[in-house]
Chains A and B, each alone.
Chain A
Amino acid sequence: METQTKTIFSSQNMGKLLGAAALTFLGAFAVYHLLHDGLLPLAGMISAIVIFLVLILVKKSLTPYRWLAVGLVMAFLFTVFPILYTVFLSFTNMSSGHLVTKPQAVERILAQTYKPDHVPTYSWEAYQNTSGEWLLLVFDQDNKAFDVRPGSDLKPIEVPGDPPAAIDGYKLLDPVQKIQKLQALTEVEFGHGSNLITIQDPMTAAAVVPQYQYDEAQNTMTDKSTGLLYTNKGGTYTSSAGDVLIPGYMVGIGTNNYSRFLGNTGYLAPIGEIIIWNIGFSLFSVLISFAIGMAIAQLFENVPGSRLIRALLIIPYPIPVLVSIMIWRGLLNENMGLVTNLLQHIFGSAPHFFTDISWARFAIILINVYLSYPYFFVLATGALKSVPRDIYEAAEIDGASAWMSFRAITLPMVMRILMPLLIASFSFNFNNFTLIWGFNAGLPAMADTVVPMGHTDLMISFIYRLGFSTASAADYGFSAAITVVLFLLVGLMVFFQVRNAKSLKESR
């Protein structure tokens, strides 16, 4: 018994327990604040993480997880949580005007005040005594002066000329002090009962009252200045006449975001076109850049000066992608681009790389190949080195041609190493936002679409335009719904690719 107590309260255990207590405390603090702001999903995630951390700290059998703790927490916070949160968002109306949670919206609405018509506005001077108490000297429209202190009535007072330097031991604030103490002054309520005067700004003070009354049970707001009732309509307090209170809040709207585009051919047809182009773009980009990279690696494997040539060929790689895209934009410019002018001189006409759909797509794949072949070239060079020389010698003795040994030996051997990278590259290109947005932002435009879309839009650039490029009118819930569908699509594709790649490996 004694030994057990000893171990529980040993300094080592004390450290653990203290740590666990501190974690729990910090976690509870964070969760409390998040819940206060109505951020339920994040609060849930943080709670789960804190529980996990406390468990691995105190439970001996979970000790090995301590080594993984940081990585796991990061993965949950920055990968799992965003995915779950996007799914969550896709079932809400989160968009401009509905960005905040209900408690936040209610708080903001209740903070709004108004001045009833019969209530006068005053200009003011403030006084403070040595113990920090305030006195306000207010002047109404007729320049009649009143002395008003927190908790007492307005008291008429004679002020013949300038405001007196002191009243009852309270000293007048000079204009500089007035500004310095303004923030504190605005938080003081002068007067009492129904006649509370607050300072509005450096010039005016008035008895303002909260404009809205909140009925929590009915979830309604009443405008006290007009008597209008605002009921909750999809996260917005709306009057019967259709007037709305600012701001609205985030509510669940079921599958509305999904049905908005899944049940609407106006969306589906162009989105279908975008998906097909998206797949084609990724596929061609990867295959062509791989082929070129591979060919160069093979050709320059053993020629004199190959090191220098390799160094030169890698140049596109370290240049920032956006810079390369800008340069290409200039080269292909339809009115004054170097490439277009050259083609114009030689052939008498030049392709419209920005306004013609096919040429725009061609240009985008061309640029992407230019940007990514060095990557495959480097990879292939490395992979080629790993193929044992003696196999080639054996093939040569058996009379295989160079092409045959490439097809039967090099390619399969290299593929085994590169396949996962090709898949990764495909997935990367599927969401290659930088290229599209930097080159032509998805143009040329599609005709007759429900929302603006372009012929070279990838799903990601389309979603970005919908959700973010017009921040003042952003529609996050809808964008999230499309993102979820896209995520499932890419997920499925990658799943099948990886499965096929595995079978490829097993069959060898």
Chain B
Amino acid sequence: MKTLFKRVVTAALVGTLALTAAVAQVKPLKIWVYDNSRIDALTQIGKDFEAKYKIPVEVSMVDLGQIKSQFLLANGGSDTADIAIIPHDNLGGLVENGVVLPVNLGRKASNFLKPAIDGFMYNGKLYGLPLSVENIGFFRNTTLVPQAPKTWDEVIAIGKKLMAEGKTTQIMGFPDATYNVFPLYTAFGGAIFGKKADGSWDPHKVELNNTGMVKGLSLMVQMVKNKEAPGTIDWDGAHVLFESGKAPFILTGPWAINRFKTAKVPYAISAFPAAKKGGQPGAPFLGVQGMIVSAASKQAALAQAFLTQFMATEKYMNQLYLADHRPSAWKTVNDKADDSDSKGFAEAGTNAIPMPSIPAMGYVWDAWGNAAALAFSGEKTPKEALDTAATQVETQVAAKKK
């Protein structure tokens, strides 16, 4: 027993010493990525960085939830990454807790798409290096609908005609009643939050129940009541309807393209319909993905330099684009995407609104989704349902303020 105890203590002490010695070595820059399509490209870029600066770069895949909780709760324990890739809508929660550092792109900022930079702006400061952008597109089955409709009235007229001819069973399925179909709300003037004087989102101005939102939801409820759209919100179901040619339209994102190609459904992507002729097309949310620097990083200056001096170059932005073909946030690389899908998404996203990244957005999704479900089932009118949703968001914002 005694010798065993001694051995354990000795081993522990030696271990601690060894660890301390290891820490004194050149510390690698740690990067966390939450999806695997970019790991190889980033690892390659990291090797270039190491070859040039003799500072190793360690890229690893970490679940997005884990990235957030490590940044927020671990208070920068020694294992936390120096750099992480996040979708920009998570930025607000991180900034409000003081766990990310600003990034100074200087004049290089003009090389990036303006909305991509806007996505990573918070309280007037830039907090990340935008890498890629994505938005929902308006898909139509080109065999059934050769010409893209310009208004929602046209969409419904075409859909009804196809149903009457027995070619389809629905006008469209809704993948969700919130994010994916947001352009349907915005066509009528829908919004989530109002803006402050400085142009940033104001969590105290909840617009979730404005007339545009009510009109958009009413239109969807109308389709459900007429049995022109399924009354259950079902992501998979909506895509299957489109794939099998049972519905001529769908609002969805780049992630659906592979399954449409596999299903061999002839499709085209275009701008979203407007409320009426000559009106503004509906605007989708813009999602921006980018790299942020941890405030707890022991080599934050180096991490920032990695972003601004190394990553923010056409060469590496292009290398990253080639990895998964997500539209680049770097203008000249973004221009290279000239296939019809990319063009379609770009057309649909010309007026895209960066998704609000304020923490209050976290209260919105469930409230909004529940409101739509209650309206779909007929338990509440669209107005009543959205009023409740807005109150729920307001209540939680107010409770937070205390």
Q: 21 A-B pairs, CB-CB below 8 angstroms?
A: A12-B2, A18-B6, A22-B13, A96-B93, A96-B96, A96-B359, A97-B96, A99-B72, A109-B98, A179-B53, A186-B301, A246-B97, A246-B98, A256-B402, A333-B236, A445-B369, A447-B385, A450-B392, A451-B395, A472-B94, A473-B363
Given A182-B305, A450-B395, A452-B367, is A471 in contact with B65 using a C-beta cutoff of 8 Å? yes
* Cβ-defined contact, B400 with A97, below 8 A: yes
CB nearest to A108 among chain B residues: B98
Partner among B237, B308, B309, B363 whose Cβ is within 8 Å of the Cβ of A335:
B237
Residues in B with CB closer than 8 Å to A201 are 104, 301, 304-305, 308
Interface residues of B in 185-241 (CB under 8 A from A): 230-232, 234, 236-237, 240-241
A163 at the A/B interface (Cβ < 8 Å)? no
Residues in A with CB closer than 8 Å to B361 are 472-473
* Cβ-defined contact, B104 with A355, below 8 A: no
* Cβ-defined contact, B231 with A100, below 8 A: no
* Cβ-defined contact, A335 with B299, below 8 A: no
Residues in A with CB closer than 8 Å to B396 are 451, 473, 475
Nearest-Cβ distance from residue A319 to partner chain B, whole angstroms: 21
Nearest-Cβ distance from residue A437 to partner chain B, whole angstroms: 13
* Cβ-defined contact, A449 with B295, below 8 A: no
Kindly supply a per-residue 1/0 record for chain A positions 172-212, scoring 1 wherever the CB is within 8 Å of any chain B CB and 0 otherwise: 00001001101101100000000000011111100000000
Nearest-Cβ distance from residue A476 to partner chain B, whole angstroms: 9
Q: Report Cα–Cα, A445/B132, bound state, in Å.
A: 35
* Cβ-defined contact, A202 with B308, below 8 A: yes
Given A97-B359, A202-B305, is A471 in contact with B295 using a C-beta cutoff of 8 Å? no
A234 at the A/B interface (Cβ < 8 Å)? yes
Residues in A with CB closer than 8 Å to B53 are 176, 179-180
Nearest-Cβ distance from residue A449 to partner chain B, whole angstroms: 7
* Cβ-defined contact, B5 with A473, below 8 A: no
* Cβ-defined contact, B237 with A333, below 8 A: yes
Kindly supply a per-residue 1/0 record for chain A positions 354-372, scoring 1 wherever the CB is within 8 Å of any chain B CB and 0 otherwise: 1100000000000000000
Q: Report Cα–Cα, A352/B233, bound state, in Å.
A: 12
* Cβ-defined contact, A176 with B52, below 8 A: yes
A19 at the A/B interface (Cβ < 8 Å)? yes
* Cβ-defined contact, B366 with A465, below 8 A: yes
B319 at the A/B interface (Cβ < 8 Å)? no
Q: Report Cα–Cα, A478/B365, bound state, in Å.
A: 20
Kindly supply a per-residue 1/0 record for chain A positions 211-225, scoring 1 wherever the CB is within 8 Å of any chain B CB and 0 otherwise: 000000000000000
Query: Besides the contacts A256-B402, A472-B92, what 8 more A-B pairs have beta carbons closer than 8 Å?
Result: A176-B52, A201-B104, A246-B96, A246-B97, A352-B232, A355-B231, A447-B374, A447-B385
Partner among A100, A443, A471, A478 whose Cβ is within 8 Å of the Cβ of B362:
A471
Q: Report Cα–Cα, A109/B232, bound state, in Å.
A: 48
Kindly supply a per-residue 1/0 record for chain B positions 364-402, scoring 1 wherever the CB is within 8 Å of any chain A CB and 0 otherwise: 011101110110110110000100100110011001101
Interface size range of chain B in the complex: 35 or more
Residues in A with CB closer than 8 Å to B374 are 445, 447
Residues in B with CB closer than 8 Å to A260 are 399
Residues in B with CB closer than 8 Å to A176 are 52-53
Nearest-Cβ distance from residue A16 to partner chain B, whole angstroms: 8
Given A333-B234, A452-B367, A473-B93, is A204 in contact with B72 using a C-beta cutoff of 8 Å? no
Residues in B with CB closer than 8 Å to A478 are 399
Partner among B9, B104, B295, B366 whose Cβ is within 8 Å of the Cβ of A22:
B9
* Cβ-defined contact, A95 with B395, below 8 A: no
* Cβ-defined contact, A18 with B9, below 8 A: yes
CB nearest to A452 among chain B residues: B366
Q: Which interface residue of A93, A182, A454 has the most chain B CB atoms within 10 A?
A: A182
Residues in B with CB closer than 8 Å to A203 are 104, 106
Q: Report Cα–Cα, A443/B367, bound state, in Å.
A: 12
Total interface residues on A, CB under 8 Å, equals 62
* Cβ-defined contact, B237 with A247, below 8 A: no
* Cβ-defined contact, B68 with A180, below 8 A: no
Partner among B96, B106, B302, B359 whose Cβ is within 8 Å of the Cβ of A179:
B302
Nearest-Cβ distance from residue B287 to partner chain A, whole angstroms: 15
A293 at the A/B interface (Cβ < 8 Å)? no
Partner among B5, B72, B391, B402 whose Cβ is within 8 Å of the Cβ of A96:
B72
Q: Which interface residue of A12, A335, A465, A478 has the most chain B CB atoms within 10 A?
A: A335
Q: Report Cα–Cα, A186/B299, bound state, in Å.
A: 10
B95 at the A/B interface (Cβ < 8 Å)? yes
Q: Report Cα–Cα, A476/B21, bound state, in Å.
A: 38
* Cβ-defined contact, A448 with B388, below 8 A: yes
Nearest-Cβ distance from residue A100 to partner chain B, whole angstroms: 6
* Cβ-defined contact, A471 with B302, below 8 A: no
Nearest-Cβ distance from residue B92 to partner chain A, whole angstroms: 6
Kindly supply a per-residue 1/0 record for chain A positions 1-30, scoring 1 wherever the CB is within 8 Å of any chain B CB and 0 otherwise: 000000000011001001100100000000
Nearest-Cβ distance from residue B303 to partner chain A, whole angstroms: 9
A470 at the A/B interface (Cβ < 8 Å)? yes
Given A19-B9, A22-B9, is A104 in contact with B97 using a C-beta cutoff of 8 Å? no
Q: Report Cα–Cα, A238/B320, bound state, in Å.
A: 42
Kindly supply a per-residue 1/0 record for chain A positions 74-110, scoring 1 wherever the CB is within 8 Å of any chain B CB and 0 otherwise: 0000000000000000000101110110001100110
* Cβ-defined contact, B400 with A475, below 8 A: yes
Listed in ascending order, the chain B residues whose CB lies under 8 Å from chain A are 2, 5-6, 9, 13, 52-55, 65, 68-69, 72-73, 75, 90, 92-99, 104, 106, 173, 230-232, 234, 236-237, 240-241, 295, 299-302, 304-305, 308-309, 359-363, 365-367, 369-371, 373-374, 376-377, 379-380, 385, 388, 391-392, 395-396, 399-400, 402
Q: Report Cα–Cα, A445/B240, bound state, in Å.
A: 25
Q: Report Cα–Cα, A454/B363, bound state, in Å.
A: 15
Residues in B with CB closer than 8 Å to A246 are 95-98
Partner among B69, B72, B370 whose Cβ is within 8 Å of the Cβ of A452:
B370
A153 at the A/B interface (Cβ < 8 Å)? no
A140 at the A/B interface (Cβ < 8 Å)? no
Q: Report Cα–Cα, A333/B5, bound state, in Å.
A: 60
Q: Report Cα–Cα, A109/B295, bound state, in Å.
A: 12
CB nearest to A200 among chain B residues: B104
Residues in B with CB closer than 8 Å to A256 are 402
Nearest-Cβ distance from residue B168 to partner chain A, whole angstroms: 14
Residues in B with CB closer than 8 Å to A199 are 301
A336 at the A/B interface (Cβ < 8 Å)? yes
Q: Report Cα–Cα, A234/B402, bound state, in Å.
A: 7
* Cβ-defined contact, B395 with A471, below 8 A: no
* Cβ-defined contact, B93 with A336, below 8 A: no
Residues in A with CB closer than 8 Å to B6 are 15, 18
* Cβ-defined contact, A108 with B232, below 8 A: no
CB nearest to A256 among chain B residues: B402
Q: Report Cα–Cα, A355/B237, bound state, in Å.
A: 15
Kindly supply a per-residue 1/0 record for chain A positions 323-334, scoring 1 wherever the CB is within 8 Å of any chain B CB and 0 otherwise: 000000000011
* Cβ-defined contact, A472 with B5, below 8 A: no
Q: Report Cα–Cα, A470/B13, bound state, in Å.
A: 42
Partner among B97, B295, B400 whose Cβ is within 8 Å of the Cβ of A99:
B97
Q: Report Cα–Cα, A246/B55, bound state, in Å.
A: 32
Residues in A with CB closer than 8 Å to B308 are 201-202
* Cβ-defined contact, A445 with B370, below 8 A: yes
Residues in A with CB closer than 8 Å to B299 are 183
Given A176-B53, A180-B53, A336-B240, is A472 in contact with B359 using a C-beta cutoff of 8 Å? yes
* Cβ-defined contact, A471 with B373, below 8 A: no
3 closest cross-chain pairs (CB), A and B: A472-B93, A470-B362, A473-B362
* Cβ-defined contact, B395 with A472, below 8 A: no
Given A182-B301, A452-B367, is A473 in contact with B400 using a C-beta cutoff of 8 Å? yes
Nearest-Cβ distance from residue B375 to partner chain A, whole angstroms: 10
Residues in B with CB closer than 8 Å to A202 are 305, 308-309
Residues in A with CB closer than 8 Å to B75 are 37, 100, 104
A374 at the A/B interface (Cβ < 8 Å)? no
* Cβ-defined contact, B234 with A443, below 8 A: no
* Cβ-defined contact, A335 with B304, below 8 A: no
Given A204-B104, A335-B232, is A443 in contact with B373 using a C-beta cutoff of 8 Å? yes
Kindly supply a per-residue 1/0 record for chain A positions 456-491, scoring 1 wherever the CB is within 8 Å of any chain B CB and 0 otherwise: 000000000100011111110010000000000000
Q: Report Cα–Cα, A102/B211, bound state, in Å.
A: 44
CB nearest to B372 among chain A residues: A445
Q: Report Cα–Cα, A96/B360, bound state, in Å.
A: 10
